[in-house]
Structures are given as C-alpha cells and as structure tokens.
C-alpha cells in the first residue's frame, strides 16, 4: 500500500510490477477494514482495470 487518507478513505497501491493504482472510498468500504498503513501488503479485486475491493493480504477475498 502506498498511500491512504482516512478522511476520504481513498489512496493508492503499488502492484508487484511497480505500477501504481488508485482506489476510492467505494473499494475501501467494500471490505472489512477500518484503516490502512503505508507498506501494508494488500489483496485487491480489479474490475475493468479499477480497484473495486481492497483488504489485507491475510484476509480472504470475496467469492464470486
């Protein structure tokens, strides 16, 4: 995880290849998290190139 703003519940992540992708409050709110910290490893769900779900790497991703 690169950045996270707890006021807007949005931020950005680095993919393993170094690409940075932003995420909005809707992706954060879809998961069980209350906050994120710089450097945390996260799992994401991409839908049409956009992050739609974000959670810690130790939490399961939604089925579907």
CA 3 to chain centre: 10
Domain residue limits, the chain: 3-56
Confidence tier at 40 by pLDDT (50, 70, 90): very high
Report pLDDT for 64: 63
Contact 2, 13 (CB under 8 A): yes
Report pLDDT for 63: 81
The 8-class DSSP code of residue 58 comes to T
Q: Worst-scoring range by mean pLDDT, 6-10, 30-34, 43-47?
A: 30-34
């Amino acid at each position: 995880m690169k950045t996270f703003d707890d006021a807007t519940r949005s931020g950005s992540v680095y993919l393993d290849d170094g690409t940075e992708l932003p995420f909005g409050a809707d992706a954060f709110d879809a998961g069980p998290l209350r906050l994120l910290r710089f450097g945390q490893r996260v799992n994401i769900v991409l839908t049409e190139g956009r992050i739609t779900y974000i959670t810690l790497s130790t939490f399961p991703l939604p089925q579907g």
